[in-house]
Each structure stands twice: as C-alpha cells, then as structure tokens.
Amino acid sequence: MVAEPLEFRIVQNLQAALRNISVANGYHHDIAALSVKLDPNQDIESLIGDEALRPFLILALSPDAYDYFPAEQIRLRMPFIIHAINNTDPTEDDSKLKSYLRLCADVEKAIAADSTRGELATDTRIFGREMHEFDGQQVWAMVEGEIREHRTYGEPNG
C-alpha cells in the first residue's frame, strides 16, 4: 500500500495541532470547530454561516510553489492562512484587542509546538497577522504563514 502524499500528512498534522487548542492544554481557548478550506477562490464568509460555535478556526491553503535544486531536490512552500473567529463583549473596552491577541497567541503556540509537522516538513513559519471585525461584536484574526518541505523530486509520498 502506498503512503499518502507528504503534503496531505503535513496538513493533517497542522489540523491536529489546531484541534489540540484547549484551556486544558495550556491555551486561552477551547476550539469549538475547525474547517479546512482547500479552494482559494471560495468565499471564507460562506463557511462560517450561522455556526454558533466559537472560537471557530478555518485553515485556508493557498497555492504552493516549488524551488528546484541540484540532485533532484526541491523545496516546497505551502502557504496558509488560519482564520480564527471569536465573540467579544462590546461592553468591555479592550475585549476585541484581548480576544484577537489571545487567538493569535493560541495559533502561534499550536504551530510552534511542532514546527516540523511530525518531522515531515522542514519548518512552519508565521509571516503576519491581521485583525478584522465581523458582525459588530466578533473579532476575526488572520494568521498568515508557510510550511516548507525539502524532499527529493519525484518522491511525493516520502
């Protein structure tokens, strides 16, 4: 039986790390739901819908890129955006900022817990964060990053 492609197993590892976010595991939140969005052209807002579970994470994968090196070696760059949505308390002045920074901290901690994605990837990096508001009292944190994998060209299954 052929092993699943490395990239698939890497994404599964990142999903598991994000699902592991819980207060019991030393995070600020208990993640209520996680979705993986594979179509970069699909509207993120449509995935949230009337979902009442919060905080809610969406792992959006962007088109990847190959860098070729001698001896049939490649570096595969797999960009992603993790969207984290949570409710805030509009009566508290610092509620949105605190919720945004806590969401970002939880995502960063989950990614950094194993940046090699179970030794399947070279590293996982965060490049930036953005805060947005949604429906007036929800905060939307967007954490942008990239997974890098070095492997031999023609050996996608490891």
pLDDT in tens, 104-156: 999 999 999 999 999 999 999 999 999 988 777 888 899 999 999 999 999 99
| Block residue for tokens 């509207």 | 43
Per-domain residue ranges for the chain?
Answer: 6-152
**CATH class for the region spanning 6-152:** alpha beta
How do beta strands 123-134 and 73-87 pair? Answer: unpaired
pLDDT of residue 13: 95
Measured between its terminal Cα atoms, the distance across the chain in Å is 13
Integer Cα distance of 62 and 37 in angstroms: 9
